[in-house]
Structure 1
Amino acid sequence: MSNQTSVNTFLLLEFSNVRELQITQFFVFLLFYLATVTGNLLIISAVTLDHHLHTPMYFFLMNLAVTDLGSVSVTIPKSMSNSLSNTRVISYSGCVTQVYFFLLFAASDYTLLTVMAHDRYVAICNPLRYEAIMNKGACIQMAGSAWLTGLLYAVLHTGSTFAMTFCSNIVDQFFCEVPQLIKISCSKLYILENALLFLSVAVAFGCFIFIIVTYVQIFSTVLRMPSSQGRQKAFSTCIPHLVVFSMFLFGGALVYLRPIQHASSHTNMVFAVIYSVIPPMMNPVIYSMRNKEIKVPNKHQRSTMSNQSRVNGFLLHGFAEIQQLQIFHIIIFVMMYLVAFIENLLIITVIIYSHQLHTPMYFFLANLSFQDFGSISVTVPKSIANSLMKTQTISYSGCICQVSFLVFFMVSHFIILGVMAYDRYVAICNPLHYETVMNKKACIQMAASAWIGGVFYSTMYTGATFRFEFCSNVINQFFCEIPQLLKISCSDSYLNEIWVLIFGSSFGFIYFSLIIFSYVQIFRAILRIPSSQGKQKFFSTCLPHFIVISLFVVSGTFVYFRPSSSSPSAFDLLVSMFYCMVPPVMNPLIYSMRNKELKVAFWKLITNISPPILRQKPFSSAF
């Protein structure tokens, strides 16, 4: 594929050459993107977490929200990144990826809209057989067929598009759009792409006719209803779907069927925004605006978050009721917290102020230190304060904050550890391409992905946990730990939490397997190095990271997968201390113990900030 084209990259359309306007475009697209993500995530969360919405219509609506979220995530982030970086470039593989995923989500979206029309037809025109026809198996098959159709269409369309040769690398659009790629093609294979495009239009037109006929039947049935309330309810579920379908169809038709040879760049851009950005942003608004069932569960969720539990606060398990032991606990916790604080702050400070350490490995290490400091700051200070004030209470909102931030820092920590393994893999197994692969932009994107992954999982996990009804307010732990909260739950909704836990565990296992595979390749490469000094250098950078991963995974797995005891024990407290306090204290020591670069940079920093009288001895003599 790469040999058939004369270009390795494409140049996307800029919104403006003026830097101020580029920044404005970035913030406008950021607002669009955040609104789209928020709206669609709310739809997905409402349908997933509320049992009243576990019906075929809302199941398909949830799938539609996923396709909307996916389609807007394919195009907007790259455009925002280009505006910030003041560039127009997208790689050949990046362009292929954009076309493929955009077509996948767009085709799946269209198919789902057709399926939703059929669902409304059966519900209104044949209500007595609705549950038999639209059963769980049939719904899953229909949704699966929609995604498979999108997958097949994306593969065929992307393959035929990039089988062409291109006379230019200038794409007259802010993302890789198929009509614009056909426009710069100089291959006769564009005929194949046009034939596939016409076939797609024919299939889409057939679906359109099916939907129109369906809605004619639906409206004729609705208008025959004697009850005005019944008509209003039927219209409230059908009109949003018809509006969304019309918006999607006419937006796409304007772009793919209009002549583009003489269209101006700004016209192309406006049409692209209308059909690729506006529908995913407006669909959640349209579906929820006239839909009482969506609005009521959202209101219900907000109210039940604070009212469904019979407790306004929780009682944390103290270490001891004896005054002397409480003082001992305070001293131990204060010492561990100060050590973790000083160590991680030193790591961050040394990396920031030492230009020799401005490399990907130490950039990720600084992020890791910040996460370690954050995770220990979530739990230890509250426990110290409770011991000082001789209390065991934590407010309901305080417990939510503890769970949210602890999960956030730990998930981000785990993802960063995986990124660091990949960094070491590239550095050792592919050193000639290291600077190209691990460039500044790639490192920032990887670190940001780790933090965003932590936010996403923390939101999902915390939301699922605090939908419970709690039969007790006594937590057998010195902080709000999720296994202990599950233990005092008396709600059937714990199944949602179990599914979130299974999802997290599956992701963690796959991610951990990739880390292990990376280290197998790394150690094989190291053992082939002829120089013992070279082996020692590489082991000194890899072994600390491997030890940190093992410490984190083993301790976390032991806590979350062991059976919880029915009564508090000293063992439970020690295990929790081990996984939430020991890693933040030990990680800086493990990374600095065998790392000469970090130690040299530390002593240089100490020398630079020390009084002049202490600088008389040459720095090099200290080593």
Structure 2
Amino acid sequence: MKRANHTEVREFLFQGFSNIQEHQLTLFVVFLTLYTLTLAGNVIIVTIIRVDHHLHTPMYFFLSVLSTSETFYSLVIIPRMLSSLVGLGHSISLEGCGTQLFFFLGFAITNCLLLAIMGFDRYVAICNPLRYSIIMNWRNCAMLASFVCATGFSLSLVQAVAIFRLAFCDSLIKHFFCDVRPVLDLACAAPAINDILTLIISLLAITAPAAFLFISYVLIISTILKIASAEGRKKTFATCASHLTVVIVHYGCASIAYFKPKSENTQDQDQLISVTYTVITPLLNPVVYSLRNKEVQDALRRVMGRKSLS
């Protein structure tokens, strides 16, 4: 019977946060506030980096690319989630679900790879400062940014095509957006190749960049410890502190979400983890780089000062 009916599944329904129905309005207000802060923070960072020539450096170029990617990343998921919380947008077409999953994964993988590139930038700046301007010239920076974006969306395309070639026997997505595991759970039969492909992409998008960052920061810290003065060590490490904070939270959430055994999955846990990396993590980037980064703070003061004078 399932085999006969699977072609009729052309639309999915999101279960969303139905298990806490009485708190839907509260969640809407909280998530809308966080989303507004995320958009405002990322727009401010991109604008400040663009207009202040002191921030026209490779590190801030990659930060502006990351902020732009984070903005679109949250745009793919949160508006639809907010509409479902107020009783709208509970359904999504098969094509719409595939599109959402493709863009969500594309921006998510791009963000992971961008953080690794930013770690490499800090490694070159601290461990090989004399060659920094040669290695991290603008041509190389543009090529690296293009490469991570192309890689992110190529891997996303492979994953999305592999999933949406399957036949679906159920239409209820036990989640608030089209993520990999919740959609795969609706398939009549998911071949082992899908699980293998998901694992390979997770290793390429999470484990490989995380390992690269770990090695980079081991070398960075060993170089910092060789600096004679305590003030010099503190100042040098301060240039990495914001990036390291974002890296730990970002890769930590992604690892829990995609490497947790299926047997340990519960809907409440999955939703809590998903809220962390879809709502809170995008906000972390502008907050950390605004509150903990002196150069960004100084640039903001300069820009605001010019506006006040004009």
| Corresponding pairs, count | 305
**In 2, Cα distance between the equivalents of 1:566 and 1:500?**
20
1:549 alignment partner, one of 247, 260, 280: 247
Percent of aligned pairs with the same amino acid: 33
Q: What pairs up with 1:427-506 in 2 under 5 angstroms?
A: 427-492=125-190, 494-506=191-203
Does structure 1 residue 351 correspond to structure 2 residue 49? yes
| 1:477–1:568 CA contact under 8 A, matched in 2 | no
CA distance in 2, matches of 1:475, 1:606: 46
The Cα offsets for residues 364-405 of structure 1, whole Å up to 9 and x where unpaired, read as 000111111111111110011122344521121221111000
Task: Please tell me the residue identity of whatever aligns with 1:562.
Answer: K
Q: Which residue of 1 aligns with 2:23?
A: 325
Contact 2:13–2:172 (Cα < 8 Å) also in 1:
yes
Q: How does 1:216-615 map to 2 (within 5 A)?
A: 309-320=7-18, 325-390=23-88, 392-492=90-190, 494-507=191-204, 508-564=206-262, 569-610=267-308, 612=310
Deviation at 1:453, TM superposition (A): 0.6
**Distance in 2 between residues matched to 1:522 and 1:533, nearest whole Å:** 16
Q: Using the alignment, how far apart are the partners of 1:408 and 1:557 within structure 2?
A: 17
Contact 1:308 1:467 in 2 (8 A): no
Q: In the alignment, is the contact (CA less than 8 A) between 2:159 and 2:197 conserved in 1?
A: yes
Between the aligned partners of 1:521 and 1:566, the Cα distance in structure 2 is 36
Q: Please state how far the C-alpha of 1:321 moved relative to its aligned partner.
A: 7.4
Residues 322 and 546 of structure 1: CA distance in aligned 2, closer, same or farther (over 3 Å): closer
Partner Cα distance (1:539, 1:521) in 2: 12
SS in structure 2 at match of 1:580: helix
Q: Which amino acid aligns with 1:488?
A: L
Unaligned stretches of 5+ residues in structure 1: 1-306, 613-623
In 2, distance between residues paired with 1:412 and 1:323?
Answer: 34
Write out per-residue CA displacement over residues 124-170 of structure 1, whole angstroms, 9 at most, x where no aligned residue: xxxxxxxxxxxxxxxxxxxxxxxxxxxxxxxxxxxxxxxxxxxxxxx
Q: Say if 1:426 and 1:434, in contact at 8 Å, map to a contact too.
A: yes
Once the two structures are TM-superposed, the CA of residue 461 in structure 1 deviates from its matched residue by: 0.8
Give distance in 1, aligned partners of 2:15 and 2:309: 48
DSSP 3-state at the match of 2:177: coil
Distance change (3 Å), C-alpha of 1:567 and 1:575: closer
Q: How far apart, in 2, do the equivalents of 1:551 and 1:595 lie?
A: 17
Task: Confirm or deny: 8 A CA contact 1:408 1:454 kept in the other structure.
Answer: yes
One-letter amino acid matched to 1:364: F
Between the aligned partners of 1:458 and 1:572, the Cα distance in structure 2 is 21
Alpha-carbon distance in 1 for matches of 2:253, 2:21: 30
The Cα of 1:320 is off from its aligned counterpart by 3.6
TM-score of the two chains, using structure 1 as the length reference: 0.47
**Distance in structure 1 (CA, Å) of the matches to 2:119 and 2:19:** 45
- Measured in 2, the distance between the counterparts of 1:322 and 1:514 equals 40
Larger Rg: 1
* Pair 318,511 (structure 1): closer, same or farther in 2 beyond 3 Å: closer
> Which of 579-588 and 602-611 deviates more?
602-611
- 1:386 and 1:392 in contact (8 A); partners too: yes
Q: Give the AA of the match of 1:334.
A: L
Q: Is the 8 A contact 2:80 2:89 kept in 1?
A: no
Give the whole-Å Cα distance in 2 for the aligned partners of 1:567 and 1:553: 19
> Deviations along 1:99-138, whole A, 9 cap, x unmatched?
xxxxxxxxxxxxxxxxxxxxxxxxxxxxxxxxxxxxxxxx
Residue 318 of structure 1: how far off its partner (Å):
2.5
- Does the C-alpha gap of structure 1 residues 556 and 567 become closer, same or farther in structure 2, counting only changes over 3 Å? closer
Distance 1:570 1:607 in 2: 47
* Alpha-carbon separation, structure 1, partners of 2:263 and 2:301: 48
How far apart, in 1, do the equivalents of 2:162 and 2:150 lie?
A: 18
Q: Give the structure, 1 or 2, with the largest relative contact order (CA under 8 Å, sep 6 or more).
A: 2
Residues of 2 paired with 1:473 and 1:308: CA distance?
10
Is the alpha carbon distance of 1:402 and 1:391 closer, same or farther for their aligned partners in structure 2, counting shifts above 3 Å?
Answer: closer
SS at match of 2:8: coil
Amino acid at match of 1:408: G
- Structure 1 residue 322: Cα displacement: 7.5
Question: What is the one-letter code of the residue matched to 2:128?
Answer: N
1:491 deviates by: 2.2
**Letter in structure 2 aligned against 1:460:** V
Deviations 1:523-559 (A, max 9, x none): 0001111122221222112122122112111111111
Whether the 8 Å contact between 1:308 and 1:468 is mirrored in structure 2 is no
Q: Give SS of 1:315's match.
A: strand
C-alpha distance 572-455 of structure 1, shift in aligned 2 (>3 A): closer
Q: Measured at CA, do residues 321 and 420 of structure 1 come closer, stay the same or move farther in structure 2, by a change above 3 Å? A: closer
User: What's the CA shift for 1:593?
Assistant: 2.4
Letter in 2 for 1:515: L
